[in-house]
Amino acid sequence: MAIVEPTNTWKLLEERLAVTVNERHRQVLEIVIAHMKAEAVPDLDGLMKTLVPEPNYHFWQFGQDVGPKGWDGVRDYYAAFVASKSNILEFDLDRLLVDDNCVVTEGYLRQIYPGAYAAQIGLPVEDPAADYLISFRQLLLWPVDAAGLIVGEDSYHSGPVEIRKLSFDELPREYVELVYPGV
């Protein structure tokens, strides 16, 4: 079994979309799916096309909002995300709510991090040269405007529930190609 299966990130949304008849709910689901898929590639321009002109992200950590704000702030955030090579992830959802203006997703976010990047952002890893599977329990609110674009993300997470050093053999092919090209 794979350490992470990226397609699980949008699987529940696609299942809901397949049985949803409300056109507005379909629109809201479709933009979040497009965003998730662009994040997985990663496609920076594709990600930004899913957002309003002045998106605001709210990442709540230790009572502080540390999310990026505005077009440039969010674009810089995603550029850093792409550069970090930590986009090999799975958001294994067990809860999905949809209304006319928002999608709410909840589950376990499992993400593979290069150890140096994990250490840089304050995660307690023992070996910066290693690769780590880091899991969080996360709830995300995806507000969507009247035109069908994502206004931002409101993220709440538990902090790491697992930090596990991975052997090279456990790394998915996509991650190896991204982090260790030519190996």
Within a domain: 2? no
Q: Write down the pTM of the prediction.
A: 0.93
CB-CB contact of 139 with 107 (8 Å): no
Q: Which helix (DSSP H) or strand (DSSP E) does residue 19 occupy?
A: helix 8-19
pLDDT of residue 168: 94
Rounded mean pLDDT, 44-70: 94
Q: Which two three-digit tokens encode residue 124?
A: 């307690």
**Structure confidence by residue, pLDDT tens digits, 123-139:** 999 999 999 999 999 99
Rounded mean pLDDT, 106-134: 94
Within a domain: 142? yes
Percent of the residues in the chain that have a pLDDT greater than 90, as a whole number: 80
Within a domain: 132? yes
Q: Which two three-digit tokens encode residue 33?
A: 């799916």
pLDDT of residue 65: 94
Separation of alpha carbons 36 and 94, rounded Å: 16
Of the pLDDT bands very low, low, confident and very high (cuts 50, 70, 90), residue 178 is: confident
Within a domain: 100? yes
Q: What is the DSSP string of 43-105?
A: -HHHHHHTB-SS-B-EEEETTEE---BHHHHHHHHHHHHHHHT---EEEEEEEEEE-SSEEEE
Within a domain: 1? no
CATH number for position 162? 3.10.450.50
Domain hosting residue 127, numbered range: 8-179
Within a domain: 146? yes
Separation of alpha carbons 87 and 37, rounded Å: 11
Within a domain: 26? yes
Within a domain: 62? yes
Separation of alpha carbons 50 and 148, rounded Å: 8
Total domains, the chain: 1
